[in-house]
Each structure stands twice: as C-alpha cells, then as structure tokens.
Amino acid sequence: MECLPLVMEPESGFYADPVVVLDFRSLYPSMIIAYNLCFSTCLGKVAPSKANTLGVRSFSPDPSVLQSVKNEILLTPNGVMYVSSKVCKGIMPHLLEEILSTRIMVKQAMKRLSPSQKILHRIFIARQLALKLIANVTYGYTAA
C-alpha cells in the first residue's frame, strides 16, 4: 500500500457554517524537517515488498543498529522507518532549513528597501519566489 496526497478543490458558494482555512508556511518542507525524512535517515521498510529493495538497491539494516535506535524510530503510514534527528540529522532537512532561512532573509531585505528601488525589489521578489518553489518541489521530486 502506498500513500498519496489528496488535494481537494474548494467548492465556491456561500457557507453559513464556520469554515476553517489552514495556511502553513512551507507545509511540505516543514514536514520533512520536523520528521527528519531523508534518504540518509531511512532504515527501510518494516515488511520489505521485494527482497529488501529500497528504491533501486537492496538494503538490509543491521538488527543490532535497529535495536539500539528502537526508541528513536519514526514509522510512516506506508511502512518506512526513519531515525529521528536525535540520532542523525538528515541531509534534506538540513538543506531545506537553509533554503527557508535564506528566503526569510531575502524577504526581510525587501522590507528595508526604499520605494525608489523598484528594480531591486522585483529582483528580491523573484529570488524569494524561486527559493519558495525549490523548497516546495523538494517534497515532490523526492517522492515523499
């Protein structure tokens, strides 16, 4: 069984009941960071589907390693195990933290610009948008 994200399109109309709208800053990158989801922290599937294959390679975690980190393992809904950031900080979470902090720095620099610096303002908007897109597509291209 594989888990696929579901994006529901909103239905336009008048709602008499309260409507909850959740807006997360960088939701998918935040999930990767919070749960330390990365190829470098992956221990494999609990029940291997095809002779211990993980991606395109065979993989068999050492049982003694699994025993030593048994309290620091995250089990995802599709049966893949990851170690927490207390054991090992993943490469992808680290990269995403850097990208998101750089985007915040660019946005803060935009606020300090004077109204006469319109060209520089447009450059900063493009840069922060590029950083946002890089962070958000990371979730998709890693097949998270």
pLDDT of 2 > 80? The answer is: no
Give the residue-averaged pLDDT of 67-82.
Answer: 82
Domains and CATH numbers, the chain: 42-83 (no CATH), 91-141 (1.10.287)
DSSP run (H or E) holding 53: strand 53-54
CB burial of residue 73 (10 Å; 0-12, 13-18, 19+): middle
Amino acid at 24: F
pLDDT of the residue at 100: 92
Measured distance CA(63)–CA(61) in Å, rounded: 6
pLDDT of the residue at 5: 64
